[in-house]
Copies of this chain bind each other. A is one copy, B any other.
Amino acid sequence: MRLPIYLKIAQDIKEKINSGELKPGDPIYSENTLCKTYKASRMTVRRGLALLASEGYIYSIPGKGSFVREPDNNSYTLYYNEMKNLVNSVDKTKLLEVSITLPNQRLINSLQVTRNKKIILIRRLFFTEGEPVAYDVKYLPYCKGMPIVEKEIQYATFPEMVAKKMSLFAIRKELIIYTQMPDEEIKKYLNIYSDLPLMVVEQKLYDREERPIGLGITYYRGDYCKLYAESYFSDSLLNEKYKNGVET
């Protein structure tokens, strides 16, 4: 078998945890014990344990030992892209407005700006196969280098809009998802004539100093929006190579 020892160690322990043989709180064999068991050096054993730790399976307490972690049952990975989701993929957009305004009270609070700060306002409609499926509004505090050119805005997602100015790695994003009935204006934009609710996604961007750098609100027709999430098994970004050799 060509499976590296450290992966073998990690897999064996993971198997014990998944099967329930090791339960949350239970101690793992000590590093020295594992060294003997696998005839491996301590660094190799530690690498296996480090992998399990980074995947959230175990944790260590200096001087005491390593233990099985309580799994986080309430976290999921949500896939969200303004223009792509389960039921529709935006194939056309219409730029309704690009302008520079002053913030109202809600924006002053939300973006943490003064009432004199210039705000870029962008309003768009998203279409799928000719049908309007979402109404989209963005607010960005104006800075030099901000996108106010139509071409840069038309098909850009929110993170892309600010990416011109800074590294996408440095941006923290928040989503708030809720539902509401459309007002008359949105009904008009989205061709809604019956009792159809909206899915609303508020997206807020922060820089590394936790300063808000943008607020976006997207109003989806309820029948065109499904969001998908799943529990993440960060089952190592590495194992791809060895996926065949799962033999014990």
Contact = CB atoms under 8 A, between A and B. Distances in A.
A100 to B, nearest CB: 26
A53 to B, nearest CB: 7
A49 interface: no
A177 interface: yes
Nearest to A158: B73
B86 A18 contact: no
Given A76-B78, A222-B179, A54 B229 contact: no
A197 B173 contact: no
A175 B76 contact: yes
Given A73-B159, A195-B195, 14 more contacts: A73-B81, A73-B160, A74-B81, A76-B79, A76-B80, A76-B175, A78-B175, A78-B229, A174-B231, A178-B222, A178-B226, A179-B179, A179-B222, A180-B222
Q: Quick one: which of A18, A76, A170 has the most chain B CB within 10 A?
A: A76
Contacts of A75: 77-79
Interface stretch (A128-136, A137-145, A161-169): A161-169
Nearest to A228: B176
A239 interface: no
Interface of A: 17-20, 23, 43, 50, 53-54, 56-57, 59, 71, 73-81, 84, 86, 157, 159-160, 166-181, 195-199, 208, 222, 225-231, 233, 237
B172 A233 contact: yes
Contacts of A199: 178-179
B222 A71 contact: no
8 contacts: A19-B170, A71-B168, A74-B80, A78-B175, A174-B229, A177-B226, A197-B198, A197-B222
Nearest to A207: B18
B197 A18 contact: no
Contacts of A81: 73-74
Contact of A18 (B56, B73, B79, B169): B169
